Amino acid sequence: MYQNNKIKVSCYDQIKKIPQLKKEKSELKEIYSQALQDVVKRLDKAFQNFFRRVKESQNGKKQKPGYPRFKSYWRYDSFVYPQFGFELNEKERKLNHPSDSERSGRDLSLRLSKIGNIKLKLHRPIEGNVKTLTIRKTRTNKWYACFSVEIKKELPKKKVIQEAIGIDVGLDSFLTTSQGKKIDNPRYLTKLEEKLAKIQRWHSRKKLKSKNRRKSRLKIAKIHEKITDQRLDFFHKLSNRLTKSFQLVAFEKLNVKGMVKNRYLAKSISDASWSRFLQQLRYKAAEAGIWAVEINARKTSQTCSGCGAIVPKTLATRKHQCPFCGLTLDRDINAARNILQLAINTVGATGINACGVGRLLPTTKREATYFIIGGSSLS
C-alpha cells in the first residue's frame, strides 16, 4: 500500500483486518485470535527496528539497516499467547494396582485454546504471575512451552569482599585466573567437526524434498544441538563455581563482533562463545549478591602487574618478562592480575579485604520458567 499509494499501515490497522481475513481464509479460524494478533505485532516490531536503523545510518552511524526477512513456515518456529488462551491443569494419577507405587503422583497438562490438552514434562515450578506463553519448536522437533513470569524479588545486598579474582579469556586456555589457574578450552565444535562434515556431505547428495534429505537434516541438527548443550553445561558449571567461591569477579570488556572479522580466528572465537559465558556470569553474580565488574582491558597484557611498567610484546610472546622489576610469569596470568587491579581501582571501594590485592556492577535478570513438551530435558 505504501509503494502503490503512499499510505502507511499501522499495526492496529492490520489487526482490525484479521476478522475479514478469517472469512477469506478459513484456516485462520483454527488459530487463537491473540496468537494471530501477536504475529502482526512481531511484524510491526521488525519494521520499526528497520526504520530506526535507517534513521541511524542517515545520521552517520555505520551499519546496514537490514530489511526484515520473510519467514516461511519452516523458519517460523514459535507462536505466542500474550494474555489468555492457556491454562495449566494438574490431575491425580490413578493406581491400577496397589503395588504400582511408582505410578502414583500427578500428571501436568497444558490446555491451549484451538489446540487442546498437551502433556508436559516439568522443568522447574512456576513462581510469580504468568504474563505470556511462548510455544517453541527446535530444529530437532522438540517442543517447549516458555512461560514469562513477573516476580516480586529483591536482589540480595552485596556481600563483604573477602575473596576476589580476575579472569582473562582466550583461545588456547578458555579462562586464566589471577591466581594462576587455567581452564582448558573444551572446543566442542572442533571435536565434532569431522563427524559433522561427513554427514553434511551425505546431506548435500540427497534428493531435494525427499524423506532421506529430511532424515539427514535431522542428524545435522542433532549434532548442532549437542554442541550447544555441551557448551551451555560447561558455562553453567564454571560460572556457578566462580560465583560460589568469590565475592568479586573482574573480567574484560570484549568486542566479539569486531574479533570475529578475523577470518583466521572467527570459527574458534564463535566456538568459545565468550559473550554467552559472561552473560551467565553476570546474572548469577546478581542473584548471589556478589560483584561482577566489567573493565576496559586495554594494555592489560602489555602492563607489568608487578611494577606497572609498559612491556611491549607481540601475540606470539606467551611469557611476560619485565626488565624493570624482573617479574616473569605467563602472559595471561599477568593480564588477569591487571584486570583485577583495574576493577578495584575503578570502583574505588574502601575498607575491603580482597585477598590482599588492594582494591563492582550489579546486574539484573529477567526470569522465565520452562516446561518441556514431549521431549527430553536439556543437560
pLDDT at 18: 93
Is 275 found in the same domain as 256?
yes
Task: Report the SS3 class of residue 184.
Answer: strand
pLDDT at 97: 54
Is 190 a member of any domain?
yes
Contact 292, 308 (CB under 8 A): no
CA distance 45 to 39: 10
Q: Could you write out the three-class secondary structure of 82-150? A: CCCCEEEEEEECCCCCCCCHHHCCEEEEEEECCCEEEECEECCCCCCEEEEEEEEECCCCCEEEEEEEE
pLDDT digits (tens, 9 = 90+) for 181-207: 999 999 999 999 999 999 999 999 999
pTM for the model stands at: 0.80
Q: Quick check: 348 pLDDT over 80?
A: no
**pLDDT, averaged across the chain:** 85
pLDDT at 350: 39
pLDDT digits (tens, 9 = 90+) for 153-182: 888 888 888 889 999 999 999 999 999 999
Higher pLDDT, 98 or 375: 98
Would you please indicate which residues are annotated as catalytic (active-site) residues? 168, 252, 332
CA distance 264 to 137: 34
Higher pLDDT, 197 or 358: 197
Q: Quick check: 236 pLDDT over 70?
A: yes
Is 168 a member of any domain?
yes
In the chain, pLDDT over 70 holds for what percent of residues? Answer: 87
Is 83 found in the same domain as 24?
no
Task: Report the SS3 class of residue 299.
Answer: coil
Contact 328, 320 (CB under 8 A): yes
Is 375 found in the same domain as 292?
no
Is 220 found in the same domain as 134?
no
The stretch 214-225 carries a mean pLDDT of 95
Lowest mean pLDDT among 243-257, 280-294, 296-310, 349-363: 349-363
- Look at residues 136, 133, 129, 165 and name the one whose alpha carbon lies nearest to residue 150: 129
- C-alpha cell recorded at residue 113: 485454546
pLDDT at 156: 87
pLDDT at 317: 86
Q: What is the 8-class DSSP label of residue 62?
A: -
pLDDT digits (tens, 9 = 90+) for 2-30: 888 888 889 999 999 999 999 999 999 99
Is 30 a member of any domain?
yes
- Look at residues 259, 261, 294 and name the one whose alpha carbon lies nearest to residue 277: 294
Q: Quick check: 310 pLDDT over 80?
A: yes
User: Looking at the 3D structure of the chain, how many domains does it have?
Assistant: 3
pLDDT digits (tens, 9 = 90+) for 65-82: 899 999 888 888 999 999
Is 359 found in the same domain as 370?
no
Is 326 found in the same domain as 377?
no
3-state helix, strand, coil in the chain (%, to 5): 40, 20, 40
Q: Quick check: 360 pLDDT over 80?
A: no
Is 372 found in the same domain as 279?
no
pLDDT band for position 106 (cuts 50, 70, 90): low
Q: Quick check: 376 pLDDT over 60?
A: no
Is 174 found in the same domain as 150?
no
Lowest mean pLDDT among 22-36, 105-119, 244-258, 349-363: 349-363
The stretch 234-240 carries a mean pLDDT of 96
Is 159 a member of any domain?
no
pLDDT at 212: 95
Residues in CB range of 367: below 8 A, 6 or more apart: 127, 128, 149, 151, 153
The CATH number that applies at residue 329 is 3.30.420
Is 204 found in the same domain as 131?
no
Is 198 found in the same domain as 292?
yes
Range of the domain at 310: 164-363
Q: Quick check: 370 pLDDT over 50?
A: no
CA distance 232 to 239: 10
Q: Quick check: 346 pLDDT over 90?
A: no
Is 221 found in the same domain as 125?
no
User: What residues does 183 pair with on adjacent strands?
Assistant: 175
CA distance 130 to 87: 10
The stretch 298-327 carries a mean pLDDT of 87
Is 147 found in the same domain as 294?
no
Cell numbers 563427524 label which residue? 195
